[in-house]
Amino acid sequence: MTQSAPPPVAPASTPEAAPPARHDPTGRLTAASMLGVLGVVYGDIGTSPLYALRASLLHFEAGGIERWEILGVLSLVFWSLMLTVTVKYVMVIMRADNRGEGGILALMALAMRSSTTRRGRWAVVLIGIVGAAMFFGDGVITPAISVLSAVEGLKVVNPVFEHAVVPISLALLIALFAVQFRGTHSIGYFFGPVCAVWFLVIGLLGAVQVVQHPEVLWALSPTYALQFFAFYHLEAFFAMGAVVLAVTGAEALYADMGHFGRRPIRVMWMVFVLPALALNYFGQGALLLSDPAAIENPFYLMAPEWFRVPLVILACAATVTASQALISGCYSIARQCVQLGLLPRLVVTHTSATEEGQIYLPQVNFALFVGVVVLVLEFKNSDSLAAAYGFAVTGTFIASSILAVLVLRRNFGWSMAAVIFVFAPLVMMDVMFFVATALKIPEGGYVPLLLGVLTAGLMVTWYQGRQLLFARFRQDSLPLSSFIARLPQSRTIRVPGIAIFMTGEKDFLPGALLHNLKHNKVLHERVLFVTVLNEDVPVVSDARRRDVTELAPNIHRVLLHYGFQESPNIPRELELLNAEGLIRFETMQASYFLGRETIVQAAVPKMWPWQQWLFRLLSRNSVPATEFFRIPSDRVVELGVRVAI
């Protein structure tokens, strides 16, 4: 039996043997990087003022909103931005980079290095799976709520547009998903400038209101937030469930660190994005202090009447930008999941000839599109969808905090006292957000919960199934060293050509070779055993990419190392080895032998029946190894085998 799918993370990678970082973790502060940060990193959190403050106050609208309630909720929003975004992500978690890369899976890979036991590694993987599953839930909800909230500005312009909000929103979203196959390279140049104008405009709109009603600045004091909690007790959690909308997108600061470095992200947050957001939120609060009826839509009502139509157009452009950033993030996370053995092989299309990160995954795009359209048709407005939004985000927050504690304590040498001092209040806030959003499960929070459970169940099943397959392979297969030792005494006929056997276990004989000997009674003159090892680093340096060992005359073992942000290309690597003189490889003489497994239930199954069914379904629908490894289909020989697990 040969394993043609990429194996889980290779344990051979150690911190001592790790290659130098591909990215500069600090990053250079240039005009291009600063604009890129605005368009990619801050698109999601930058559009939160459209709905966050209004959603936070709607629960207390009955009987009129009092001054201290407005200041209390506004104080909660401000200090959530300061603690969750500024302290937790900008100042702390961004220190824990994985060779310059960030994100929940990069953090998981870091934590796995310091986990020495099988149970510990499985626990880390499970936390990473939950965080990634919640990220996919966020990727479905963000485009829906962002575009809906932007288009709803038309109702402020003229109530006649009320029935046009859903059709216009669907038209924008359909167009957005329809052009994904072209890649974001050509339209990416507009993302940064659009978001730069957006932050300038919302900051200016808020500043005008703050100047007119400066008493709103009292909300800078956390005492108003504490007073709000002291009065409402449990009911205050309903407000927290909406306040979390103000910090959605915080995970993007860490996830996109590999693209820009931490310095541009930190600088743009502190000197541009945070001031613009704070001014806008305080401006909305100032407007509500003077006119509580503005709760209808305080964001658009801050603008003068003549500017509302242009503001709607700008908001639509900004929300499309934010949606694109989340969609592209889902593509990257999905590919990382495949490389880490958490998802089956997926179609990955590279949309740029020069940038590795420009990818398009049609299966992921279709799944996101269906989910977004269903949400828009089901909820119809941003207020209803707001209840569903926060749950996915808070789940990712908690997963990131747990993994960050492990990484900073074990990998970066933080003392236990330092970890407790820093993370105790941050985790407490994450838990408060999670509990608050959990209270809204009946109102819509069930959507990300359902999406997260389904996605996590799928990933756990695939990971567990692959582990069982590899264990069965090692149990039933012959050690490669034994075969090589017996080969000189055998009378095996050697025929001209090159046979390339793909195997997931470098020390065991691939089943495809045994089946070839059994049925064809021959062995090729030159034999290559090729194993793809996925390591727990984002990118493997070219110096460590290829490892060749001569096992016998004209028989070589080739180990190809890839990071979780890379896509394998077997023929290209073999041609490079030929150019370096390490092996003899002629493309037209090569035949690739792969095994195609048929999964059947063992006498004593080690998976639940539903997991058996799901794993077989995923295996059947996985992208063929020839396409995933970019192997010419006319040079492939596939041999089937039944595997019982």
Does 324 lie in the same domain as 230? yes
Domain boundary among the residues 439, 464, 489 is at 464
State residue 257's pLDDT score. 77
For 452-487, the DSSP string reads: HHHHHHHHHHHHHHHHHHHHHHHHHSPBHHHHHHHG
pLDDT tens digit sequence for 152-181: 888 888 888 888 999 999 999 999 898 888
State residue 60's pLDDT score. 80
Rounded Cα distance between 395 and 137, Å, is 10
Range scoring the smallest mean pLDDT among 39-43, 99-103, 366-370, 390-394: 99-103
Domain range spanning residue 374? 31-464
Task: Please return the burial class of 583, using the count of CB atoms within 10 Å of its CB with bins 0-12, 13-18 and 19+.
Answer: middle
- Does 404 have pLDDT greater than 80? yes
Does 212 lie in the same domain as 94? yes
Does 482 lie in the same domain as 439? no
Q: Is residue 2 part of a domain?
A: no
- Does 103 have pLDDT greater than 50? yes
Does 565 lie in the same domain as 457? no
Does 536 lie in the same domain as 421? no
- Does 24 have pLDDT greater than 70? no
Beta bridge partners of 549: 557
Q: What confidence category does residue 184 fall into, taking pLDDT thresholds of 50, 70 and 90?
A: low
Higher pLDDT, 102 or 319: 319
- Does 1 have pLDDT greater than 50? no
Rounded Cα distance between 502 and 489, Å, is 25
Q: Is residue 35 part of a domain?
A: yes
Q: What confidence category does residue 25 fall into, taking pLDDT thresholds of 50, 70 and 90?
A: low
Average pLDDT, integer, range 229-239: 83
Higher pLDDT, 433 or 25: 433
Q: Is residue 252 part of a domain?
A: yes
Domain boundary among the residues 418, 441, 464 is at 464
Mark residue 577 as left, alpha or beta (left: phi above 0; alpha: psi -120 to 50; beta: remaining): alpha
Beta bridge partners of 612: none
Helix or strand holding residue 527 (H, E): strand 522-534
Q: Is residue 445 part of a domain?
A: yes
- The mean of the pLDDT values for the chain is 84
Instruction: Please give the structure tokens belonging to residue 219.
Output: 């909300």
Q: Is residue 556 part of a domain?
A: yes
Does 455 lie in the same domain as 483? no
Rounded Cα distance between 24 and 21, Å, is 7
CA angle 395, 399, 404 (to 5 degrees): 145
State residue 186's pLDDT score. 52
Does 394 lie in the same domain as 421? yes
State residue 188's pLDDT score. 54
Domain boundary among the residues 441, 464, 487 is at 464
Does 353 lie in the same domain as 266? yes
State residue 12's pLDDT score. 36
Q: Is residue 516 part of a domain?
A: yes
Q: Is residue 250 part of a domain?
A: yes
Does 364 lie in the same domain as 403? yes
Does 383 lie in the same domain as 531? no
Rounded Cα distance between 99 and 490, Å, is 48
Q: Where are the alpha helices (DSSP H) in 407-440?
A: 416-438
Amino acid at position 282, single letter = F
Q: Are 521 and 493 in contact (CB under 8 A)?
A: yes
Higher pLDDT, 386 or 637: 637
- Does 441 have pLDDT greater than 50? yes
Higher pLDDT, 565 or 398: 398
Helix or strand holding residue 531 (H, E): strand 522-534
Give the total number of structural domains in the chain: 2
- What percent of the chain lies above the pLDDT cut of 70? 93
Does 266 lie in the same domain as 181? yes
Rounded Cα distance between 619 and 633, Å, is 19
State residue 252's pLDDT score. 76
Beta bridge partners of 532: 560
Does 441 lie in the same domain as 521? no
CATH at residue 303: 1.20.1740.10
- Does 359 have pLDDT greater than 70? yes
Q: Is residue 84 part of a domain?
A: yes
Q: What confidence category does residue 353 fall into, taking pLDDT thresholds of 50, 70 and 90?
A: low
